Structure 1
Amino acid sequence: ATMRTLRIAFLSSFALELLATLSVALVAVTIGMRLVHGDMELYDGLVVLVLAPEAYLPLRQVGAQYHAAAEGLAAAEDIFSVLERPLPASGTGRVPAEG
């Protein structure tokens, strides 16, 4: 269950990161086309291109927080499985033989 949870967290984080990267690339292509056709000034294009990744920063943070939460849940499951193990009765443990 732990590995499955982590795999889902990695895949969802990867998908959000890919979406943000492709969106910034689409903005860059649009800016490039507008610059080529003379519809936009170079300074304006550079400002938008520098600020475009900041627009997708919350999306990236959601992915990172989800990943951290999934790791925390997986660790909690491991801890609870250790805590739920029954303790051996007192005096029933094996004593190593002296050689």
Structure 2
Amino acid sequence: MKIETTSLPSADVTCATCRANCCRLEVMLITETGVPERYVEFDDWGGMVMARLEDGWCAALDRSTMLCSIYDKRPLICREFEMGGYDCLAERAAHIE
């Protein structure tokens, strides 16, 4: 039985090499995790989402470290986004500079 490597996390992606590309995605708030109100906005349909800055980056991203400033209270979707997983690698590839 062959395991597809695209479903396994990449060892090349760590907290030290992360470029926080997932912090450019729209993040819907579908569960209560304690996200501070200053980081919550409502989309055009009335759904709660993470606030983003004018340049598209998540407002909770600490730009000096490129780490989440509310990591312990981050939304469920952020908790489930696997570092080095398929979606992570796809976002990194989409934003190659």
| Structure-1-length-normalised TM-score | 0.21
Which structure ranks higher in relative contact order (CA pairs < 8 Å, sequence separation ≥ 6)? 1
Task: Pick the structure with more strand per residue.
Answer: 2
| Structure-2-length-normalised TM-score | 0.21
